[in-house]
Amino acid sequence: MSKYTFPIGGIHPNDAKFSKGCAIEVLPIPPVVYVSMAQHLGAPAVPCVAAGDKVKVGTVIGEPAGFISAYIHSPVSGTVKSVGPRKDLAGNNVTHVEITVEGDEWEDGIDLTPDIVKEIPSDRAAVLDKIKKCGVVGLGGATFPAHVKLNPSPDTKADCILINGAECEPYLTSDHRIMIERPEEIVIGAAIMQMVLGGCRCVIAIEDNKPEAIASMKGAVAKLGYRNMEVLTLKKKYPQGGEKQLIDAVLRRQVGSGALPISVGAVVQNVATALAVYEAVQKNRPLITNTMTITGDKLPVSEQHNYLFRIGVPFSFIAEQAGGVPEYAAKIVSGGPMMGKAIANMDATTVKGTSSLLYLSKESTKRKEEGLCIRCARCAESCPMGLEPFLINRVYKAGDLAGMEKASAQDCIECGCCQYSCPANIPLVDNIRMAKGQVMAEIKKRRSNGK
């Protein structure tokens, strides 16, 4: 039993990793794809193709529109049919590039062989440029552009890069599968990022409910023999994969309120991001594929899948390939059950950060009637940020902005632990998210006033 875990709060939901034994299958390509220009944190990319243009797999179709933004590449070969607004999974209009698929022809220079390239390049600037040009973003959930995170400002220094294999969300198994099936590529990707950050320590952190992944990653690290790299087993607890929690679990350091992990010398990247970095740097392959899990609380394991998908594929197409939306599904979630987004529009398409199609039954997901707070303190005990959700909820309802800031609504990571634990079914996260928005706006206003 590992002793490493984060010390504040956290919960132990049933991990429900039903699909952990399902090997990764390649998802077929639909006749038409719709590629979103807003697949990353920061400014949406600007489309650089027009209707009628011919594209290959890997052709740049969107260019970054600012410092925090990312390139977007065509996931298929064919003809651009249109460029314009289309609804994303929540129903918001976002610019999409519509491409009619013709064959599967890749851009020149992309290495499609299965050979593993082990030599780590040493030109830091060239590697960073490649990561940027290949549109690599963090695949752990936030989709923050990887080249920005890997290039911290000169007055800071990274002394440890954490490769996040915690996969603490229940149900999700895509990280688990890539760690079993593609461990060497992940380790090489980690070593590349280690080199970019100046040869700091590298820790690959995995929760103890994934012994096969731990064994597989340990084997790859031993085989490749890079210096200053280790696999660390963590004691299972949600939300261990949260950046701040992972840093506390492994390094016993806390990132200050409003600060970035680099301020305590840490950089966190997901295992899937490490794989994307490997493919970008060693194989010249842009980020147009990722792995996702098709699962649910009542879906028979035989109908569950882990798919290697291309971006821009409609969810409805994926559901069809996997045997249709099951009868029992009351809610369809993209992402995990704790932090994922409910899908309001199955015609929406996959993006770089898509991690699952999760079918939840009414019994497991329907919100129960809100009761009155009985002051049991379960919300406070479960909060991994050490906050008091009942207090933020109360001051939010009273409209007390100063009280919300004092109670640190702005530090909430929206992990859902408090609402999960509340016996009175109070929608704490809904209210705290609103409070957080108000406080953040206030802080921004103060800053722009030069205070």
Partner 1 sequence: MENKLVSPNPHVHAKSSTSSLMWDVIIALAPAMVVSILWYGWSALMLLALGAGFCVLLEWTITKWMMRKPSVACLPAAALTGLLLALNMPPSTPWWTVLIGAIVAIGVAKMSFGGMGQNVFNPAITGRVFLLVSFPQQLTNWEIPRGFIGGGLDAVSGSTLLSQVKLEGAGSVADLDIFRTFLLNPGGSMGEISGLALLIGFVYLLCRKVVKPWIPLSIFLTVALVSGIFHLCNPEAYTGPLFNLVAGGLILGACFMATDYVTSPMSDWGGVVFGVGLGFIVMMIRYFGSYPEGVSFAILLMNMTVPLIDRAFHRKKYGYGRA
Q: Determine how many CB atoms are found less than 10 A away from the CB of residue 379.
A: 28
Cα 336 to the chain's mean position, in Å?
10
Residue placing its CB nearer to partner 1 in the complex, 151 or 345 = 345
Q: Are 27 and 307 in contact (CB under 8 A)?
A: yes
Q: Which one, 215 or 325, has the nearer CB to partner 1?
A: 325
> 11 or 351, CB closer to partner 1?
11
d(CA 236, CA 167): 10
CA dihedral 404, 405, 411, 416 (to 10 degrees): 0
CA 194/CA 406 separation, integer angstroms: 38
Q: Summarize as ranges the residues that interact with partner 1 (CB under 8 A).
A: 8, 11, 13, 170, 244, 248, 254-257, 259, 329-333, 337-346, 358, 360, 362, 364-369, 371-377, 380, 383-388, 390, 408, 411, 414, 416, 419-421, 423-425, 429-430, 433
Q: How far is the CB of 101 from partner 1 (least distance, A)?
A: 24
**Cβ(136)–Cβ(273) below 8 Å:** yes
User: With contact defined as beta carbons under 8 Å apart, do 65 and 76 qualify?
Assistant: no
Report in angstroms how near the CB of residue 245 gets to partner 1 at its nearest.
8
- Smallest distance from partner 1 to CB 8, Å: 6
Q: Which residues have a Cβ under 8 Å from the Cβ of 276 and sit 6 or more positions away?
A: 134, 136, 139, 146, 189, 287, 290
Kindly state the smallest distance separating residue 291's Cβ from partner 1, in Å.
Answer: 21
Q: What pairing do the DSSP bridges indicate for beta strands 201-207 and 78-87?
A: unpaired
Residue 243 burial by Cβ neighbours in a 10 Å radius (0-12, 13-18, 19+):
buried
- CA quadruple 371, 401, 92, 174: dihedral positive or negative? negative
Q: Which is nearer to partner 1, 292 or 387 (CB)?
A: 387
Does an H or E element contain 362, and which? helix 362-365
Amino acid (1-letter code) at residue 368: K
Shortest distance, position 229 Cβ to partner 1, whole Å: 28
CB of residue 203 vs partner 1: minimum separation in angstroms?
Answer: 20
CB of 309 to partner 1, least distance (A): 20
Residue partners of 450: CB distance under 8 A and separation at least 6: none
Q: Which residue type sits at 388?
A: E
Q: Is the peptide bond before 239 cis (omega within 30 degrees of 0)?
A: yes
Cα–Cα nearest to 28, from 80, 73, 62, 75:
75
Q: Judged by CB, which is closer to partner 1: 139, or 360?
A: 360
